[in-house]
Amino acid sequence: MNRTLRLPRADGAVTPYTLTGSRAVTPPSGPIRSRVAFAAVHVVADPLAAINPMLEVALDWEATLAYRRYLWSLGLAVAEAMDTSQRGMGFDWETAKELIKRAVTEAKAVPGAVLASGAGTDHLEPGSRVTLADVEAAYEEQCTWIERCGGRIILMASRALAAAARSPDDYVKVYGRILSQVREPVIIHWLGEMFDPALAGYWGSPSLDCATETLLAIVREHASRIDGVKISLLDQRREIAMRRRFPRGVRMYTGDDFDYPTTIRGDVEGASDALLGIFDVIAPAAAAALKALDTGDFARYEAILGPTLPLARHVFGAPTRFYKTGVVFAAYLNGHQSHFRLVGGMESGRSVVHLAEQFVLMDRAGLLVDPERAAERMRRVLAVAGVD
């Protein structure tokens, strides 16, 4: 098969690109032991559903659940129903409830499978009449559903709370109430405004330093009910500094899709675990690298993860909130789904130039499982954009 494609560039030119022939990364079998490694996982839309995709949601349930089984087979944990699956960005709570229920059932049938699910307030529309009590009730509803299904909770950031809160004390109050009720320790997620502009000023201050102190106060007060904190600020130094101040037993789950190899490897004072959207994209490489870390083979760890960084920084490049397009595009290229369609029509969230560069970076990182199939699928996307 012809391994050369014509790819568009940012300057308007269309130039030939020949696949490198890089061997796809294949992880060894078995669990990952040295770190807890969650992949925040996407959902697969049903492209043939007779709905308005901008207003309604229909999932391909088998393809969606099959991808979770694939991640578990690699030894990765699954973070379900979070922003990677477009929570609050086209994917509604009613569908999320069904997804969480089905995913928990799937996990119970897979030996060693680890699953945690996002609880937020996305069914509560932010507005001037929304009170802190409304926010608490919304959180309680979602937490109760996850626990009733038999799942673990990831306590996601709340747009409604960001709009209703008037001070850091409001965050302390709301999180304190929710944490006092959970059955098992939860993961708290601090999602930065680069991922969701509606979360600007979270924890009650536009100053990240002040916000950090508020979150740390919550963590210290409720440490026994907190498994860890996921930081999605794309700020490595802040993550490491905060990690060093956590109470013993509270994990730092890196959400830094720009610098994850360093924070996961760690230093003499500790290391971060992982809860990353990019692990959906680079799952085989992530699993292989972490299993190398398990054996103390730091050189192989770096050799596998290093080439994935340019890809991650591209997929999560500004405007970062559209990274889901790249996540699903990767799954399409690698044959995990038969189409390149997203919930809410978000396949249009990135330009064909952006997708062409992602294709090149996946090839260079050894992340095209079947390069010839990936090339053919890339050609289909290019054809739609008028590149023959």
pLDDT tens-digit map of 255-303:
999 999 999 999 999 999 999 999 999 999 999 999 999 999 999 999 9
Q: Mutual orientation of helices 352-364 and 371-384 as an angle, nearest 10°?
A: 170
The CATH architecture that domain 32-384 belongs to is Alpha-Beta Barrel (3.20)
Separation of alpha carbons 85 and 92, rounded Å: 10
Distance of CA 302 to the CA centre of its chain: 22
Joined tokens for residue 152:
């673990």
Condensed to tens digits (0 to 9), the pLDDT of residues 231-264 reads: 999 999 999 999 999 999 999 999 999 999 999 9
Per DSSP bridges, beta strands 37-40 and 14-18 are unpaired
134 contacts 164 by C-beta, under 8 angstroms: yes
Backbone angles phi, psi at 104, to 5 degrees: -60, -40
Share of the chain above pLDDT 90, in %: 94
Mean pLDDT over the full length of the chain = 96
Q: CB-based contacts of 73: which residues, under 8 Å, 6+ apart?
A: none
CB 115 within 8 A of CB 67: no
> Where residue 3 falls among pLDDT bands split at 50, 70, 90?
confident
Query: Are 282 and 306 contacting, i.e. CB atoms less than 8 angstroms apart?
Result: no
Does position 203 have pLDDT exceeding 70, yes or no?
A: yes
Task: Choose the weakest-confidence range: 86-90, 120-124, 240-244, 295-299.
Answer: 86-90
d(CA 89, CA 56): 12
Q: Say what the pTM is.
A: 0.96
For 86, which DSSP code?
T
User: What is the end-to-end Cα distance of the chain in Å, rounded?
Assistant: 16
Residues 324-343, mean pLDDT to the nearest whole number: 98
Instruction: Return the pLDDT at 88.
Output: 86
Where exactly are the structural domains of the chain?
A: 32-384
Pairing of strands 251-254, 153-155: unpaired
